[in-house]
Structure 1
Amino acid sequence: MTQPQVPRHVLPVLVLAQLLGTSLWFAVNAVMPDLQRELGWSTAAVGTLTSALQFGFILGTLVFALLAIADRFAPRRVFLVCALAGAACTVGAWWMVRDFTALMVWRFATGFFLAGIYPVGMKIAAQWYSKGLGAALGYLIGALVLGSASAHALRAMGDALPWPTLMLGVAALAALGGLLLYFGTGDPPGAVARVTTLQWRALGTVWTDARVRSSVFGYFGHMWELYTMWVMVPLILATRLQGTALSWTAFVVLGAGVIGCAGGGWVAQRWGSACVAGSQLAVSGACCLAAPLFMAAPDALFYAWLVVWGITVSGDSPQFSTLTARNAPPQAVGSVLTLTNSIGFAISIVSILLFVSLAETVSLGALLPWLAVGPVLGLWALRLLWHEEAQRP
């Protein structure tokens, strides 16, 4: 059976809506230097607020998965409601920004509603693109990566943009993203009918189905490395740069992940998602192991190493999601993707807290190679799907 022709506007609308909706993630991080100067907060406040949002996202994805929200209700409506709610939480954070406890609560709530944006956007893409999903998710997650990197660009431009303008602007953009997706797309032809019951057995395929387990556990290895690498990049660059130059370089390094996501999606159409995910995971793991060598290398090699790492550390993510979406029970794709996100982000928090703590007493050259534990275990888990793809004509 051939896939019906997807209207050309669908993918650009999905990508733009995802970029605008997930911009909520970085609203406070981008203005933290201004808030620290104005309110006298310590640098630890950044980590506290980031962790609050991450915990909110973990709880949100767990609740959404267990209640099968994305599979029981229209995904476009879920995306719209969560985008508007997340925007309202960001306005609340702006209104009560001087009360740190209230700000932390608002960021936790923002993370909770992001569970209805990022994973649900992938569910909608999976509905539209039964074929070519790897390429579609490459663009979609590339938008998320660019949004992540944009926090550093906004920080570099912070002197020109007052922090209230940035926060309220991000809230408006997120609301626009929800409206754009809801009114700019319809229900795809032949979409799987929404379920009316909870999908406990389908969620269990994360462990019981060998193919789902292979992609999901590969993704978990990837998540051990990804967000910790993003957190460590400013510390790595601080050994050679400072100020605006550091922020712009961090934006380039992290933003390079768009190349890995979009380019990987294009290559996956020919070579397969498992091959692309495994290859990029192997290269990013090698970058971890090579850290002692490149930390002491001349500038050209140092920056080239970081860019290659930035490309590959993100580029495997869309293909892991593609593999999971393809192998999960069709009626529970949204719930399985959401549960996978929940566990993956929990792993990332453990990794971030561990490595940031150790960075106070251990040199970066000695510490960074241990990030390769995730890629090594991820490659071991992925071997089933990679072997199956290699056997196909």
Structure 2
Amino acid sequence: MGNDKFEIEARYSISMGGMMIQGSWRALMWIGLSELCALSLWYSASVIAPELIDLWNLSPNSEAWFSASVPIGFVVGALFSAYFGIADRFNARKVFAISAFLGALLNALLIFADSSFIGILLRILTGITLAGIYPVAVKMLSEWFPRKRGLAIGILIAALTLGSSLPHFIVIFFSSLSWKYVIICSSVLALFSAFVVSVILDDAPVKSKRLPFSLKVLKKVIKNKPVMLANYGYFGHMWELYAMWTWLPLFMTASFSTYSPEIPHWVIGLSSFISIGIAGGIGCVIGGLISDKIGRANLTIISMLISASCSIMIGFTFGQYILLTIIISIIWGISIIADSAQFSAAVSEIAEEEYVGTALTFQMCIGFLVTIFSINLIPVIQRMIGWEWAFFILAIGPILGTITMFKYKRYEFRNEKV
């Protein structure tokens, strides 16, 4: 048995000085493609929110629940999955494929929803299925990249970013048709994702050993100061990220319409896709490359300072030249996500091996809980003082995150020395 294991490991020889398993880049391509397609479910309903608001006659309170429904479902699903160790007890590819299939089905059922209660419930359930996609994709990737994951995780987050913004691109083609085509298209993409992972993607030759989530182990995470500093930086990052992704398209709609009522709808959709998806994808890859050279903390500090500046400046472009708004939006889109993967990488590098899984799960769950508050705060501020000042509040997150990552730097330096 020992010889067989040795032969398997030799066959999948470690290349590039023991840093990469043979075939890992092919696996990354399929995992990234699957992530891109499946994550189109996240904002599939948000891009057609005006139509759904009219259809379901949503009240302001219901609109808030609608905006927060997917993050709520994701947090519930992530806690459930991690606590019971679903991804560790079952084949990760199958968990991903089943989750993508169920997500596609639940998303498609929106077509038949005739009330806000059913619609919001379906979005929450869709969020739960996404918890079996994003974290599981990270797990599969970690098995294919046992070391030096910075660039690989960056590429995966780029796929997540493109996938999340994909509905903005889809709506360009169906803006003149029924909103149902957007829902159908995103569900088809999720089904394709399930097919790729279950049929085309192979299992990693070497399995990682990760412990399931435990409340007892969680105490060790909370007492680990450098891990919590990295988490605090992540929480500040998340305060800004999903609120920007959610409301920037609506900001652009209002801003462009104020500048010129004749602006075609597809221009807004394309601008949103470029600012969030294309720019974000580029930012993830650049962040992954640079972080290995200048350090996780330095990369996150630079990114958060730039994104905080953009969240303050973007309001001053409201109703002004469209090109100026798009330029700042693209810079914001690049900087706001460039550091995302590095917070998880930092925790995985500095936490004790026995509770790395719990630390990452804790980081992700609290981070997405934070997004629920910031997402719902933006429309309140917008109604009170207008779009010009609505995004100011988002700068608080990256500013506080920058402070904590400055404190984290000395622990990162010690870890590198060891």
Shift of 1:220: 0.2
* C-alpha contact (below 8 Å) 2:53/2:63 kept by paired residues: no
AA of the residue aligned to 2:37? L
Which deviates further from its counterpart, 136-145 or 241-250?
241-250
Q: 1:9 aligns with which of 9, 26, 29?
A: 26
Counterpart of 1:54? 71
Shift of 1:3: 3.0
Counterpart of 1:283? 306
Instruction: Look up the SS of the partner of 1:239 in the other structure.
Output: helix
Instruction: Look up the SS of the partner of 1:9 in the other structure.
Output: helix
Which deviates further from its counterpart, 207-216 or 236-245?
236-245
Matched, 1:303 2:326: yes
Shift of 1:142: 0.9
AA of the residue aligned to 2:247? M
Counterpart of 1:173? 189
Return the alpha-carbon distance in structure 2 between the equivalents of residues 91 and 136 of structure 1.
31
Counterpart of 1:361? 384
Map 1:14-163; keep pairs closer than 5 Å. 14-35=31-52, 39=55, 41=57, 47-94=64-111, 96-159=112-175, 162-163=178-179
Q: Per-residue displacement from partner, 1:137-189 (whole Å, max 9, x unpaired)?
A: 11111111112222222222224654444323322321331332233333434
* C-alpha contact (below 8 Å) 2:107/2:123 kept by paired residues: yes
Return the alpha-carbon distance in structure 2 between the equivalents of residues 171 and 49 of structure 1.
19
Which deviates further from its counterpart, 301-310 or 220-229?
301-310
Map 1:290-369; keep pairs closer than 5 Å. 290-291=313-314, 293-295=316-318, 299-330=322-353, 332-369=355-392
**RMSD value, Cα:** 2.8
Inter-CA distance 227–307: structure 2 relative to 1 (3 Å threshold): same
Which deviates further from its counterpart, 158-167 or 353-362?
158-167
Return the alpha-carbon distance in structure 2 between the equivalents of residues 153 and 174 of structure 1.
16
Q: Per-residue displacement from partner, 1:101-124 (whole Å, max 9, x unpaired)?
A: 222222211111111111121122
* C-alpha contact (below 8 Å) 1:264/1:316 kept by paired residues: yes
Return the alpha-carbon distance in structure 2 between the equivalents of residues 261 and 120 of structure 1.
19
* C-alpha contact (below 8 Å) 2:221/2:228 kept by paired residues: yes
Q: 1:261 aligns with which of 260, 269, 284?
A: 284
Shift of 1:77: 2.5
Unaligned runs of 5+ in 2: 1-16, 258-262
Return the alpha-carbon distance in structure 1 between the equivalents of residues 390 and 44 of structure 2.
30
AA of the residue aligned to 2:163? G
Map 1:224-243; keep pairs closer than 5 Å. 224-237=239-252, 238-241=254-257, 242=263, 243=265
Counterpart of 1:250? 272
AA of the residue aligned to 1:244? W
Return the alpha-carbon distance in structure 2 between the equivalents of residues 75 and 335 of structure 1.
17
Return the alpha-carbon distance in structure 1 between the equivalents of residues 125 and 315 of structure 2.
39
AA of the residue aligned to 2:249? P
Return the alpha-carbon distance in structure 1 between the equivalents of residues 337 and 213 of structure 2.
32
* C-alpha contact (below 8 Å) 1:123/1:334 kept by paired residues: no
* C-alpha contact (below 8 Å) 2:68/2:375 kept by paired residues: no
Return the alpha-carbon distance in structure 1 between the equivalents of residues 145 and 389 of structure 2.
43
Return the structure number with greater relative CO, CA threshold 8 A, min gap 6: 1
Counterpart of 2:222? 207
Q: Aligned residues: percent identity?
A: 29
* C-alpha contact (below 8 Å) 2:43/2:165 kept by paired residues: no
Return the alpha-carbon distance in structure 1 between the equivalents of residues 154 and 388 of structure 2.
31
TM-score by length of 2: 0.83
TM-score by length of 1: 0.88
Q: Per-residue displacement from partner, 1:230-266 (whole Å, max 9, x unpaired)?
A: 2331343222345332222222211211111111112
* C-alpha contact (below 8 Å) 1:74/1:194 kept by paired residues: no
Number of aligned residue pairs = 390
* C-alpha contact (below 8 Å) 1:287/1:309 kept by paired residues: yes
Unaligned runs of 5+ in 1: none
Q: Per-residue displacement from partner, 1:29-66 (whole Å, max 9, x unpaired)?
A: 344455556x3745856654332222111211122233
Instruction: Look up the SS of the partner of 1:2 in the other structure.
Output: coil
Which deviates further from its counterpart, 44-53 or 372-381?
44-53
Whichever of the two has the greater Rg, that structure is 2
